[in-house]
Structure 1
Amino acid sequence: MAPEHAHLQQAAEWFAVLADPPVSDQQRQAWQQWLAARPEHAAAWQRVEAISSQFARLPAATHRRAAAQALRHSGRSRRQVLGLFAVLGGAGLLAAAGQGRPLRAWLASERTGTGQIRDVRLADGSHLWLGSRTAVDIDYSASTRLLRLLQGEVLIDTAADPRPLLLDTRHGRLQALGTRFSVREGDGSSQLSVFAGAVRIEPSSGRAGQVLQAGHQVRFGTDGISASAPADPARQAWSRGVLLANDRPLGDFIAELADYLPGYLGCDPRVADLRLVGAYPLGDPERILQALAGSLPIRINRRLPWWVTVEPLAG
């Protein structure tokens, strides 16, 4: 489970303190007490440290010494101690894998980095667009055209071919039925939006599948398939470098914009339900943040150069 917003903010504030020497013994002791107080704090620190490794690092010796002192007085079991050492010491491994990106994604047939959008013409003539931080394995054989979405979002315009075109996510398998569709993978489910033709869905849970027609979208995961809703034009607009918002919650908009920025971009729950309308060029995410701050009762808080949150004007 992802750390809560409040814990992430606390972790970011502590990171800013420790990264700005001189750090007093009292400050270091207070950080150690905070870190050892709750497992959620350790998880939040892991997230901050993993992201920070792309930009700046505290000396490894500082982590080891502080962790040893904090754990010595925390009263945790050996298993818990080892787990928290892994949190503090393992962030370098997470960074090496791209902020926790699975190694398999780095070895994918096609992938994009932060802020990149790519379009690829496949061997059968199908057109594949990859959104930011996306990885796809392509496995064509004499009998099947198979794509594996390892992370991120894709838009596919299929070409006529006697072989079935299948797309796998960790939440299920999709079969294109002469179609144009997009798939966005999330932690708990994948979102399918169909713009032409139809797509057959087979959830990995083994629950009954269904065929989704053009003009509709659903989420599918371990709980089955959600009720269908009208297909969101935003789910293909990104392929043209545009982030659409049509009466969209700010929190949802920020979560998608975060894929196009390095570091961390989060939204305070107190403003997450503000509604947003507009079309925003993804080529300049910083300009989008400035536009949001100029049109909504929010402020852009930069606790660190790579840690940005959208917060209420007051508080």
Structure 2
Amino acid sequence: MTLVCYQPPATDGWQGRVDGQEPGLLRWHQVIQPVNLERRPLPALASGQKGIAFLGFASDEGVRRNKGRTGAVEGPVALRKACSNFPVHFSGHVLADAGTIACEGHQLEMAQDALAATVNHILEAGYMPVLFGGGHEITYGHEKGIRQFFGEQAQTGIINFDAHFDLREPDEHGASSGTGFWQIAQDRQAAKMPFHYLALGIQQHSNTPKLFETAEQFGADHLPASLFQQKYHDQLIGAIQAFIQRTDHIYLTTCLDVFAAPHAPGVSATAYNGLVPDALFLDCFRTVLRSGKLAGTDIAELNPSLDQDQRTAKLAASLVFEIVMNYFTR
């Protein structure tokens, strides 16, 4: 298979502590299977076996165009490192590293097309794509790959944990990390497909009135960050479940700038009053993971150059752990 912008898994991408080779002592770096997609396909899955394929998206060109602080291009490397020492609490399933799609120079659109083709390839192999960003420009290529796989008749919903709508129209510089969902809406409108979009954690002070108007015009749903309080638990869960019920599949994307700055300092745009990754957030996150409809998911905006004590990388890794455990043990 010939892939554009493709980098095979690094030989030293997964390293960590070794307590032994017994099943009860294994860690992710000991069981993950690096796969160079240009040389061989993902391992065939046996009946009843599940597979997850990690795929990096090394890009912050969209962040640069969006006038943000660059550095998220190094996110996939940092996230792999943060995940390496996780203990293996599953058996009989396949955890694979499918490499990285890298934005070369300023060729963001080329990289997004390559990402879409690779996501489609992962889904065709029967694997769940779990993508490591990279800026939130990851969303356009990821969703496009899911759309290519399921076709125009599928009711695929998008759930985005984010402080921002990312519904800006592209300017003279082209697409950016803030335009992904506007682009998806345009593509779906052209294909006469519905645009099912739920944004969770929206901050009023981080979005212009124009963006709220655009969300309304597109029929997008959103729940503000201020609603993420324990007293609104049932309302939050109910809204997420109601959205999921209207769809056949869910694409879940998490922009790390949705979290409060003490928990996620390593992002382009920090939020002093963002979400707290507590039991309430996890209930909402797990509601999506346990829906049985997840088609693909990604973590965006991890910027190691701005991180402190690897707090953001560790938070991102904990979300990946939740994704893997809920998928393999569901």
Normalization by structure 2: what TM-score?
A: 0.28
Name which structure has the greater RCO, CA cutoff 8 Å, separation 6+. 2
Larger radius of gyration: 1
Normalization by structure 1: what TM-score?
A: 0.29
Which structure carries more strand by proportion? 1
Which structure carries more helix by proportion? 2
